[in-house]
Amino acid sequence: MSAHECDVVVVGLGPGGEALVARLAKAGLAVVAVEAELVGGECPYWGCIPSKMFIRAGNLLAEARRIATLSGTATVTPDFSLVAKRIRDEATDNWDDTVAADRITAAGATLVRGHGRLAGDRTVEVAGETYVAAKGVVLNTGTTAAVPPIPGLSDTPFWTNREALKAEQAPGSLIVIGGGAIGLELAQAYARFDTDVTVLEVAPRILAPEEPESSELLTKVFESEGIGVHAGITIDRVDHDGTTFAVTCGDATYEAEQLLVAAGRRSRLDDIGLDTVGVEAGKFLAVSDDMQVTGGNGSGGLWAIGDIVGRGAFTHLSMYHAERAAKAILGEPLADYDDSFPRVTFTDPEVGGVGITEQQARDKGLNVRVGLTDVSASSRGFVHGLGNEGLIKVVIDADRDVIVGATSAGPTGGETLSALAFAVRAEIPLATLSNTVYAYPTFWRAIESAL
């Protein structure tokens, strides 16, 4: 059978792959887009969008419960079927990607359904057909939930993010293995629908990649909401007797109706033919700043974008990588790589971070100064009252007088982060930041106090 010729093959259509296909096709290239599951990837169907809809619903319940202190009386009766319906009908079209697939073809690209594998230089095999790409191949195969090798776990009907976001009913009780962003967001959202939730984290603290102050803050808030938080533990085994999960951690055994494993993500790199181009991947694929895969047979023509490159697992990064790969492929000028990228954990309070943490700055040998302020004690925090927990932390390189990292936690932590993200990215001098008027009484005015 003869090979199909084209300019570019994109294998895997996460948010970045989808955007890249449209961008290149609209620029006039012949693009073949390969997808094994749903066009758009994890984010719209089992990730960002459904989880944020769920969180929005849970946060409304939490706000309603605050009414008793602030404004009167309300009877709050959670109805999980409403959020399940909204996820099914509005977020995911019942896990149907027709609209996204049509966008790909409308842009002029060819969509091929199936599992794509490299079959040598600039060549991809999918569904028994071979595609040869004159310019090259872009990999955007993303991640799946990592399942830790805990004895007994694999024999149980545990949930990952996919089942947790496709559920039709909230379980009576839930153990969450993993106190990272995904585990914490889902833990709190379920708790707000009256699920009795326990979070188990093997690292010494939850939300370990962020500042310790953020971990302390969320631990305090979660515990005040009745969510069990156990960090620094060892999980010995998991059992399921047909109705109940039992998680054994030393002398303690936690039991629940459901178990969610949110213990990190695993790159989908093992069955995509990397060996056929001489590329060895560890946990991630190494790329240069134009997203070109490094190593291998050295002939070029292989790019990778999104979670698999190990530069942060966020939709906005996948899209950023896509634009960089597009520019590289189209021969357009590329600016420097922005590695200060923002990240937001959408708990209540939201925890936003940008740039490096205080510890990372110290490890780099910077002359570090730190500013920290309590958002609940700020003017807006005072006005807000119940639910006002938060903090702003800035990490300053005192030799250059610029912020190299910042945290913004609070009721609008993710939004407030935007000002700090610009400050870090643009290396705005401290003198300018200090000689700036911060609107009163906003949450972002607390940045001035931190400075």
| Interaction of residue 116 with ligand FAD, rule CB under 6 A | yes
Phi-psi region of 180 (alpha: psi -120 to 50; beta: other; left: phi over 0): beta
Q: Which residues of 183-200 are buried (b: 16+ CB within 10 A; e: fewer)?
A: bbbbbbbbbbbebbbbbb
Q: Which of residues 376-435 bind ligand FAD (CB under 6 A)?
A: none
Pick from 136, 142, 180, 411: which binds ligand FAD (CB under 6 A)?
142
The string of DSSP codes covering 307-373 is GGGSS---HHHHHHHHHHHHHHHHT----------EEEE-SSSEEEEEE--HHHHHHTT--EEEEEE
Q: Work out which of 140, 173, 258, 340 binds ligand FAD, going by CB under 6 A.
A: 140
Q: Residues 173-192: x/- map of binding to ligand FAD (CB under 6 A)?
A: ---------x----------
Q: What are residue 118's DSSP bridge partners?
A: 124
**If binding is defined by CB under 6 A, does position 43 make contact with ligand FAD?**
yes
Instruction: Work out which of 41, 136, 171, 301 binds ligand FAD, going by CB under 6 A.
Output: 41
Q: C-beta of 445: minimal distance to ligand FAD in Å?
A: 26
* Number of chain positions touching ligand FAD (CB under 6 A): 37
The reply to whether 48 sits near ligand FAD by the rule CB under 6 A is: yes
- Which of 8, 10, 15, 247 is in the footprint of ligand FAD by CB under 6 A? 15
- For 294, the 3-state DSSP assignment is coil
| Binding map of ligand FAD across residues 288-317, x = CB under 6 A, - = no contact | ------------------xxx----xxxx-
Nearer to ligand FAD, 352 or 387 (CB): 352
- The distance of closest approach from Cβ of residue 74 to ligand FAD in the complex, given in angstroms and rounded to an integer, is 28
Smallest CA-to-CA distance from 350 within 395, 307, 396, 392 is with 392
Choosing from 33, 51, 91, 320, the residue that interacts with ligand FAD (CB under 6 A) is: 51
Q: Angle at CA 252, nearest 5°, toward 250 and 257?
A: 125
Peptide bond into 349 cis (omega under 30): yes
Between 158 and 314, CB nearer to ligand FAD: 314
Relative to beta strand 129-139, strand 4-11 is parallel
Is 92 a binder of ligand FAD (CB under 6 A)?
Answer: no
Count the alpha carbons within 13 Å of 305 in the hemisphere toward its beta carbon: 33
Residues 132 and 121 sit within 8 Å (Cβ to Cβ): no
CB of 180 closer than 8 Å to CB of 262: yes
Residue 100 beta carbon to ligand FAD: minimum distance, rounded to whole angstroms: 10
- 240-269: contacts with ligand FAD (CB under 6 A): 268
Tokens of 136: 């090259």
Using the minimum distance from each CB to ligand FAD, give the nearer residue, 43 or 450.
43
Give the residues lining the site for ligand FAD (CB under 6 A).
11-16, 34-38, 41-43, 47-48, 51-52, 115-116, 140-143, 161, 182, 268, 272, 306-308, 313-316, 318, 346
